[in-house]
Amino acid sequence: MKTGNKILDCMAYAKAKHRAVNHKYGGEHEYEYHLEMVYEFGYRFQSHLPEELRKDVLCGCWVHDIIEDARETYNDVKQELGETVAELAYALTNEKGRNRKERASTKYYEGIRQTPGAVFIKICDRLANASYSKGSGGSMYKKYQKENSDFERMLGRYTDYKHLEPMFQELDKIFNLNQ
């Protein structure tokens, strides 16, 4: 049942769809734990977005993995939450691939850069994953740290997305870079 508050509706939709597939995070948490972290980073840094994008991008924080992980389609998301949110979820859906590098291909990052607000959400996602893996001693922390320069380059840290520099600096802090 929709509440009329788009962000709350996105949150409820994302939680329900991830629960329906029994999707976990870190092996011990319901997946919504991760989605809440992504949303919290989005909320914290939303002032770096144009005001007219904020609500849809915060919704995108909740549903960024819904096509990839919860068996929803672009059209499912579009029907439930609107075209802009569906475009964000679609842009943030990994490519088909045999390994991590193939799934996060150049084409994948091009789609993110071409979709307004998607770079912001991708950084929020990485902030959540990196901070969680660092805090829990997870094996992915070193992988995220090693990937960071390529991740930043693919997202356009020093070219098109200088306005998101405080978010990249937050990643630097998590990875103990430039301190």
Q: Report, as an integer, the average pLDDT of 70-75.
A: 97
Contact assessment for residue 104 and residue 68, using Cβ atoms and an 8 Å cutoff: no
Structural domains of the chain, ranges and CATH numbers in brackets: 6-174 (1.10.3210.10)
Q: pLDDT band for 162, please (50, 70, 90 cuts).
A: confident
Kindly calculate the radius of gyration of the chain based on its CA atoms and give it in whole angstroms. 15
**Is the per-residue pLDDT at 179 higher than 80?**
no
Distance CA 141, CA 131 (A): 8
Residue, of 118 and 163, whose pLDDT is higher = 118
Quick one: average pLDDT of 85-90? 98
Cα distances from 11 to residues 8, 89, 158, in angstroms, run: 5, 13, 32
What integer pLDDT is reported at residue 2 of this predicted model?
79
What pLDDT shows up at residue 112?
A: 97
The mean pLDDT of 31-44, rounded to a whole number, is 98
What percent of the chain clears pLDDT 70, i.e. is strictly above it? 98
Share of the chain above pLDDT 90, in %: 81
List CB contacts of 132: < 8 A, sequence separation 6 or more. 25, 26, 34, 37, 138
- Summary mean pLDDT of the chain: 94
Most distant CA pair in the chain, distance: 48
- Give the pLDDT score at 178: 61
What is the length of the chain?
A: 179
Q: pTM for this one?
A: 0.95
